[in-house]
Structure 1
Amino acid sequence: MISEAKKPIPHSLTVSCCSPRIWLMVAVLQLNGLLLSHQAHAASTEWKEALPGWKYVFPRDHGPHSNFKTEWWYATGNLTDEQGHEYGFQLTFFRQGILPGGKPAGSSRFRLSELPFAHFAFTDVGAHTFRSYQISSRGAFGEAGFAIPPGRMAWLNDWSLAMNDRGDLMLKADTQQQGEERGVDLKLVEERAPLIHGVDGISRKSSKPGHASHYYSLTHLKATGSVIVNGKAHAVSGLVWFDHEWATNQLDKGDSGWDWSGLHLSNGDDLMIFQIRDSQGKPSFLTGTLRTPEGKVQTINDLSMTPHDPWKSPHTGGLYPSSWDIKIPSRNLELTLSPKVSDQELVLSPFAYWEGAVRAKGVKSGTSITAEGYLEMTGYGGKTLGLGE
């Protein structure tokens, strides 16, 4: 009899997740044979789903939600050093639950209740270079975990996200690979209240009922600190966008990929947009959230995202859009989104996705406007587990 951990992985897996990004994490963990366990099957009916009526409470909701199966903490930022050189980064911590509610009291340290996983990517805009890294751990000796702040919120080895008593986030990641070093060490000061996405405490992921997550962002984090490039530290400042999302229920079957962006507009607006694409590559669901500097929040229901000018990856042969036309008629907003560096593709066998620093320009109510932020595109660069054939 083949053990659960050694069963062959099919080409298409149905993955229970709260957000499109979770597919990426679950795919890698499945390849490592970590999710296919008797514990997971035994507890599968006990997970909570993201339902209307959730009341967000902080700092509680900055921490883990162990009764939900999937969760992630995600930070992206555009930074500039004292000489005007631009950098971008992504640091994401994932939690995939195995036992609802966490590990029972008195359990062995080797008994898994959740699986930590993390991605770190770094863009040097002036040098036109991009590096990405991934690590995972069972966390049996405290080297990985999640907690309610103050203190560490998420950590894995030397990568960490913490919050001090004043509510400032402290973010660190540093790694060396093949003789190259990339790192970030930042203090993030929250300038705006948490932005809650969706309606009545849930962010829908489909026009059909039962597909939703709990999702909020800290959109306007003032960043100061340093980045490290091959052993040399550069003092930097900039803006960081932080997302936190959790749920259990899965996305619709047959979806082939998604496109997401978080943007800081030059008029002070914060904008999050995403679309999910069907098996034909057409949008099956689009939505977003816009917040003005005065704090007015609008859920975007008239979003359109039109791709242009395919860029062919030299790594996977995937064809990614190299620009996007974004239109939101209700806000009289039109933007053209383009990457700061063309090649910001994370190649993580057997799948790949594009996640990188972007800039935009356009018009809002007849006035010119610009933007900076991050863009994520999946389903273009080869097969992704969880997305089907």
Structure 2
Amino acid sequence: MLQAVPVAAIVLGVLCFSPLAVQAGKPAADAAGEGYPPVLPGRPLVFPYDLGAHPDYRTEWWYITGWLRDRMGVERGFQLTFFRVRTLIGEDNPSRFAPRQLVLAHAAVADPASGRLRHAERSARAYPGLAGAATGTTRVDVDGWSLAAEVAGEEGGTMEGNASGRYRSRIEAEDFGFDLSFDARRPPVLNGHQGFSQKAPDPLNASYYYSRPQLAVSGRLRIEDETVEVDGHAWLDHEWSSEILPQGARGWDWIGINLHDGGSLMLFQMRDAEGRAIWAAGTQGDATGRTHTLSADEVRFEPVRHWRSPRTGTRYPVEWRLHLADGRKLGLRPLMDDQELDSRASTGAVYWEGAVRLYEAPPDGGEREIGQGYLEMTGYAERLDM
């Protein structure tokens, strides 16, 4: 197995939220920039092709977060991310052992009973039978961990207008594991401008990015030696790019929330070294799947309460107030404070990735929970080394 600490800058160089003159969605090999193809506006996302890997690009990930409930009513959060990284190393070497592509994965369960985040990671160079990411459909695996799509119309058809689709993931770690199915009942949501998601004032800092909110989840969850049946809801992000962290940026904050009314809310901001937003954006969706794109001046994150990690000493804003252009003020609160993920054995980063509840204060006073999802915060321990 190849440890991937040296490629941390590549793996987390694009936002994890939490994505060309191309025909049929298949990118041509363009040696732009440092040997990677650029992300350009106007390139349509084509399904099912864009469910799969885009190996010409620098970095890519499939990222699933969600809430699970067992038969006793116990709620837990879970997170699963598969990364694919093109290294530009050994590309002229015909050996199958050349580390041209790396595959890495993070998995975690937010377990309030233990008060901590259970997490594990895997990493390997792409090699048949050990690790890989297929093109044309979602099928990625590393060292026994897997995520695969089973999509209606996958053979000989497209997913445009087709809401159905299923994913399945199997993860086994030392103190937890899960075997989960994810059912999609609506087409992918294209973030930004039809899937072109800008990350900074300069449009060169961008990714191709779509989401699949409101996934219905079912399956089994293991905590230590106990396995339980679970169901719940999840969110999938798929994003790929050739860019690294924008100049002047230290990190980002991202949320993906499944709203209780069937809608969805994705927001993110890029922060500088002083914690100020240098860019923000988002996508709102309603229960029918119709979406509205939020621009940089329509989103504002305000930290409310902080928590300090007893392991790294990092201080994270674990409660937030979100200000939207329509005047609404929404609140975020964590399922539990300690959801710090230390991935220095694979991607080299320490970040906070956790289950949160979304609240709204109605005009008649009080507050009510309107959604559940995940919050990701990077760059608080240190700036990603790029």
Alignment TM-score, normalising by the size of structure 1: 0.83
Query: How far is 1:107 from its partner?
Result: 2.3
Matching residue within 247, 255, 258 for 2:249: 255
Partner of 2:381: 381
Q: Percent of pairs identical after alignment? A: 36
Partner of 2:332: 337
Q: Against the structure 1 CA distance between its residues 148 and 365, is the aligned structure 2 distance closer, same or farther, given a 3 Å change threshold?
A: farther
The Cα offsets for residues 135-166 of structure 1, whole Å up to 9 and x where unpaired, read as 1111334210001366x611111210011254
The Cα offsets for residues 27-76 of structure 1, whole Å up to 9 and x where unpaired, read as xxxxxxxxxxxxxxx99643111101111111211111112111111111
- Distance, in Å, in 1 between the alignment partners of 2:318 and 2:183 is 32
- Distance, in Å, in 2 between the alignment partners of 1:16 and 1:149 is 22
Q: Residue type of the partner of 2:134?
A: A
Partner of 1:110: 97
Question: Would you say the 8 A contact 2:50–2:136 is kept in 1?
Answer: no
- Distance, in Å, in 2 between the alignment partners of 1:368 and 1:132 is 31
Matching residue within 215, 218, 231 for 1:221: 215
Question: Would you say the 8 A contact 1:43–1:98 is kept in 2?
Answer: no
Shifted more, 371-380 versus 131-140: the winner is: 131-140
For the residue of structure 1 that corresponds to 2:16, the secondary structure is helix
Query: How far is 1:227 from its partner?
Result: 0.4
Partner of 2:317: 321
Matching residue within 124, 130, 133 for 1:146: 133
Query: How far is 1:279 from its partner?
Result: 1.6
Matching residue within 53, 56, 66 for 2:42: 53
Partner of 2:233: 239
For the residue of structure 1 that corresponds to 2:125, the secondary structure is coil
Listed as ranges, the gaps of 5+ residues in structure 2 are 19-30, 153-164
Are 2:73 and 1:84 aligned?
A: yes
Q: Residue type of the partner of 1:355?
A: E
For the residue of structure 2 that corresponds to 1:61, the secondary structure is helix
- Distance, in Å, in 1 between the alignment partners of 2:380 and 2:37 is 32
Question: Would you say the 8 A contact 1:258–1:378 is kept in 2?
Answer: yes
Listed as ranges, the gaps of 5+ residues in structure 1 are 25-41
Q: Residue type of the partner of 2:15?
A: P
Are 2:141 and 1:155 aligned?
A: yes
- Distance, in Å, in 1 between the alignment partners of 2:173 and 2:123 is 14
Partner of 2:350: 352
- Distance, in Å, in 2 between the alignment partners of 1:363 and 1:269 is 18
Question: Would you say the 8 A contact 1:47–1:248 is kept in 2?
Answer: yes
Are 2:300 and 1:304 aligned?
A: yes
For the residue of structure 1 that corresponds to 2:50, the secondary structure is helix
Q: Against the structure 1 CA distance between its residues 270 and 78, is the aligned structure 2 distance closer, same or farther, given a 3 Å change threshold?
A: same
Partner of 1:32: none
Question: Would you say the 8 A contact 2:100–2:125 is kept in 1?
Answer: no
Question: Would you say the 8 A contact 1:353–1:381 is kept in 2?
Answer: yes
Alignment TM-score, normalising by the size of structure 2: 0.84
The Cα offsets for residues 77-134 of structure 1, whole Å up to 9 and x where unpaired, read as 100001001111111111110349x967x92211222111111111113442311111
Matching residue within 188, 191, 194 for 1:194: 188
- Distance, in Å, in 2 between the alignment partners of 1:339 and 1:165 is 33
Partner of 2:124: 137
After superposition, the CA RMSD in angstroms is 2.8
- After superposition, where does 1:151-190 map in structure 2 within 5 Å? 153-166=139-152, 167-176=165-174, 181-190=175-184
Question: Would you say the 8 A contact 2:12–2:384 is kept in 1?
Answer: no
- Distance, in Å, in 2 between the alignment partners of 1:68 and 1:230 is 38
- After superposition, where does 1:4-23 map in structure 2 within 5 Å? 19-21=14-16
